[in-house]
Structures are given as structure tokens and as C-alpha cells.
Amino acid sequence: MADLQQQSQWEFSCDLEVDYESEENASMVYAALAVDKELQPDKVKRQMAVSNGKLTVHFEAVEARFLRASFSAFVDVLTLATKTIEEFGQGMEL
């Protein structure tokens, strides 16, 4: 019974994929965003991966409002990281 309750707890989910057309840029965004953990990990889970120049993100939440809040906050920082790379990342030496 406990397993069934645990599975049904994460009822709401969504996926996001951003194609950076560059493994390097996708990895930079991943590294910048991976340090920010979910504020309520008992209510929202986020999993990120980079593959073929794409950043993929999977969200799961116990309620729709937590999913919306987490997704919205993530897209805000994703947008900032993407604009930073667009502005300063091309040809930049690390």
C-alpha cells in the first residue's frame, strides 16, 4: 500500500526541452542551473540532462500549483542563463 501511495503522490508532471545546438552551451546552462535545488523537494522533483546539444528537464509535483511555481521559476533563470550565453558565450575563453 505504501508503494501505491508513493507512486500516486507525484501526480502532476511536465517536460521541457531546449535545443542549444551545442553540447558546450547546453552543458553551461545545465551547470549554472543544477546548483539550484528545489525549495520543497517533498513536493516537487526536477531532473535535468544534456544530450546532443539539448537540455531536457522533467518536473513532477504533488499538486498543480507546485508544478506551475517550480516550472515558472525555472524558466525565469533558464531564460537569464540563455541570454547570458547568447551575449557573452560565443568565442569566450574559459
Tens place of pLDDT per residue across the chain (94 aa): 444 445 568 899 999 999 998 999 999 999 999 998 888 899 999 999 999 999 999 999 999 999 999 999 999 999 999 999 888 866 544 4
DSSP 1: -
Distance from C-alpha of 44 to C-alpha of 34, rounded to nearest angstrom:
15
**Domain extents in the chain:** 7-89
Distance from C-alpha of 48 to C-alpha of 33, rounded to nearest angstrom:
9
**What's the pLDDT score for residue 92?**
47
Q: Which residue, chain included where needed, has cell 516537487?
A: 44
Kindly state the cell numbers that stand for 87. 551575449
| Contact yes or no for 64/70 (Cβ under 8 A) | no
C-beta neighbour count of 44 within 10 angstroms: 22
**What's the pLDDT score for residue 85?**
87
Q: Which CATH number fits domain 7-89: 3.40.30.10, 3.30.310.50, 3.40.50.920, 3.40.250.10?
A: 3.30.310.50
Q: H or E element: which one contains 57?
A: strand 54-61
